[in-house]
Chains A and B, each alone.
Chain A
Amino acid sequence: MNSRFSSEDLEYIVSLTLSIAVSLIMGALIMIANGRSPMVGYGALIRGAFGGKYSIANTLAKTVPLALTGLATAISFRSGIFNIGGEGQLYLGAFAAAYVGITFTALPKGLGMLLAILAGALVGGLYAYVPGFLKVKYKIDEVITTIMLNTVAVLFTSYLVNYPFAPAAGKLNATEIISEQFHLSRLIRLSTLNTSIFFMGFIALFMYYLMEKTSAGYDFKLVGQNSLFARFGGIDDRKQMLIAMVISGSLCGLAGVFEVLGVHYRFLQHISPGYAWDGMLVALIVKNNPIGVMIMSIFFGALKTGSIAMENATSIPSELVLVIQSIIILFIAGERGFKDKFKEWNLRRRVGQKAGERNA
């Protein structure tokens, strides 16, 4: 009862390491096929991600939206309700923050910031509430509805920035710059790393505590594992799912908020290059474990940052890391299957050997 990891966990960590290793090797093969040296490529990647204060700052800056959307995915998936609408919630949350930042310019710094953060979280949460409600009340597949609502949100914010909220200077596919007191301070010169990393750290601790240490976290998990058992045991499974969905939406909304307050200082029509999708992958890879989400977010953040450096140094297009990432996911998705096939094959081999011995 004392060990921190169960044997299943250890087995999984081994699989995960293997998957990542194989994917990186495949990445290396692609580099070779392109006539580049993988040593040089990966060397540049690692230096670009961790070599020096500036690089580390950039990696951490990328970690913020990944971790938030990753945690958002973790809580919802663990509760058995699948929020794939993170991208949409992120856009609306970001817009809400920008709206506050260009409208309530008279508010003092702390209060204004708080209002922007709350607005983003609230809007994101509400936008997740809709598919959540349709799911628990009418059994409408939340995977489909959240996918559809993603695009609706992206289109809606695109309308907002091009028509009612278009800046006076003309259509820029962006809002006006938010008022000065809403800007989160930058931490390292030239890097976009800002104080939102502290907010994220706090949120991550909170989510870890909620999911792993509390009775409510237990309820979320058991609902996700077997909702009928949870209901039988006295948990209101529908309510629990709905709460998980709203928390999830709020976290995605916050990811959007910090992009506006910390990075761009305005809402952009294409503010997220798919952060919520990446965040979802992060969570899926580590099976919705909050600590795993943090580690994987840094890893993915490093890949993103490092890939730019790699491109500059070796002219290998940075999109290679997307390919590597997707291969990791694929291996992880097939992890259980690979393991079963391996065990089956092993069994057959052993039986075959035994039969051979007996015949001999």
Chain B
Amino acid sequence: MLKQILNLTLIQHTIRTATPLILAALGGLLTEHAGMLNIGMEGIILLGSFFGVLGSYFFGSSLAGVLLAGLVGLIVGLIFAIFVIDLKSDEFIVGIAINIFAGGLTVFLLRSIFGVKGAFSSPNIIPLPRLNLPGISSIPFLDIIFNNHTVFIYISWIFVIMTYIYLYKTPYGIWLRAAGEYPEALETAGVSFRRMKYIASIACGILCGFAGSHLSLGYLTLFTENMSANRGFIALAAIIFGRANPIKTFGAALMFGFFDALGIRLQVVGVPSQFTQMIPYVATIVALFILTRRQLTKRKRDSEKQFK
């Protein structure tokens, strides 16, 4: 039984389930660094899932689906930015509004465009292509772990590295972080903090849109109501768990993906999956608790040193 649960396909599934989390979390950590928290990520993922299917169905191309999902994400990210940055709205109210909007709009459109309730599936929805790396298909372990994935999985990994370089190795990344830490300081240095915040918010929207399209076009080609199923919040958890560092957040997303994949398998053999599903949420609270405690004690120790 154990062998049935812990095998190589578990790793493969982990990578699959983690991918939307990674994409969304990367977007979210950009806004986090820019000093905004977008709990509307959940809603943007949902919109991305729907419009991914819509684009793929009508244009007969999965790329069109992904682009449409990204475009919708861009628009929502832009709206979030306008309200939070220029109209000085409470970011989390706007986030909640986005979530409710997404929940309502997707179902509304599902019914008025496709005329179905609950779920929409059709052979006309073109899924994302799978990639088989020729070099490793003959190597038994690597073949199962790394092959037969959508392109997006590899792209998401590249995004992780790019985000890291962007944030810590380029002036633009410094500006973005400065916009979050002390916007006036950036403004007086001659760089518009508004622009940096807009960039972060829009990038977050696009990435969440991609994440959604990967849900609906990646392995299953269908849209169901409330398809995002809390992934936006898990991505948020990954960001907090990884302290908004792209590499660590990537790790956290993989870990949460692993527990998700594990939970599904455990359920098959009759173990309740609810507890494995809880892990990201509980882990985040524990992480927050440990982080703040450590911060408090560390600061105390530092000052002791200074006064010796």
A interface residues with partner B (beta carbon < 8 Å): 30, 34, 82, 84, 134, 138-141, 143-145, 147-149, 151-152, 155-156, 158-159, 162-163, 274, 277, 280-281, 284, 316-317, 319-323, 325-327, 329-330, 332-334, 336-338, 340-341
B interface residues with partner A (beta carbon < 8 Å): 37, 39, 79, 83, 86-90, 92-94, 96-101, 103-105, 107-108, 111-112, 230, 233, 236-237, 240, 272, 274-275, 277-278, 281-282, 284-285, 288-289, 292-293, 296
Contact yes or no, A152 B111, CB < 8 A: no
Residues of A within 8 A of B296 (CB): 138
The 9 closest A-B pairs by CB, nearest first: A322-B104, A337-B87, A326-B101, A159-B274, A333-B89, A334-B87, A148-B281, A329-B97, A317-B111
In the assembled complex, the Cα of A338 lies from the Cα of B86 at a distance in Å of 9
Least CB distance from B283 to A in Å reads: 9
14 contacts between A and B (CB under 8 A): A82-B92, A144-B240, A144-B284, A145-B285, A155-B277, A163-B272, A322-B105, A322-B108, A323-B101, A325-B100, A327-B97, A330-B79, A336-B88, A337-B86
Least CB distance from B161 to A in Å reads: 27
Query: Secondary structure of the B side of the interface?
Result: helix
Contact yes or no, B111 A319, CB < 8 A: yes
Contact yes or no, A319 B108, CB < 8 A: yes
Contact yes or no, A138 B289, CB < 8 A: yes
In the assembled complex, the Cα of A336 lies from the Cα of B288 at a distance in Å of 33
Query: Secondary structure of the A side of the interface?
Result: helix
Least CB distance from A117 to B in Å reads: 27
Question: Which of A147, A149, A155, A330 touches B39 (beta carbons < 8 Å)?
Answer: A147
Contact yes or no, A152 B272, CB < 8 A: no
Contact yes or no, A338 B87, CB < 8 A: yes
Beyond A143-B92, A337-B86, is A156–B103 a contact (Cβ under 8 Å)? no
Query: Across the two chains, which residue of chain A brings its CB closest to B82?
Result: A334
Contact yes or no, B285 A149, CB < 8 A: yes
Least CB distance from A224 to B in Å reads: 14
Residues of B within 8 A of A325 (CB): 100, 104
Contact yes or no, A149 B281, CB < 8 A: yes
In the assembled complex, the Cα of A144 lies from the Cα of B37 at a distance in Å of 10
Query: Across the two chains, which residue of chain A brings its CB closest to B233?
Result: A147
Least CB distance from A342 to B in Å reads: 11
Beyond A147-B233, A148-B237, A277-B96, is A155–B87 a contact (Cβ under 8 Å)? no
Query: Across the two chains, which residue of chain B brings its CB closest to A334?
Result: B87
In the assembled complex, the Cα of A139 lies from the Cα of B112 at a distance in Å of 46
Contact yes or no, A159 B93, CB < 8 A: no
Contact yes or no, A155 B274, CB < 8 A: yes
Residues of A within 8 A of B98 (CB): 326
Query: Across the two chains, which residue of chain A brings its CB closest to B293?
Result: A138
Query: Across the two chains, which residue of chain A brings its CB closest to B117?
Result: A317
Least CB distance from A340 to B in Å reads: 8
Residues of B within 8 A of A163 (CB): 272
Contact yes or no, A321 B104, CB < 8 A: yes
Question: Which of B83, B104, B233 touches A326 (beta carbons < 8 Å)?
Answer: B104
In the assembled complex, the Cα of A340 lies from the Cα of B233 at a distance in Å of 33
In the assembled complex, the Cα of A337 lies from the Cα of B285 at a distance in Å of 33
Contact yes or no, A144 B288, CB < 8 A: yes
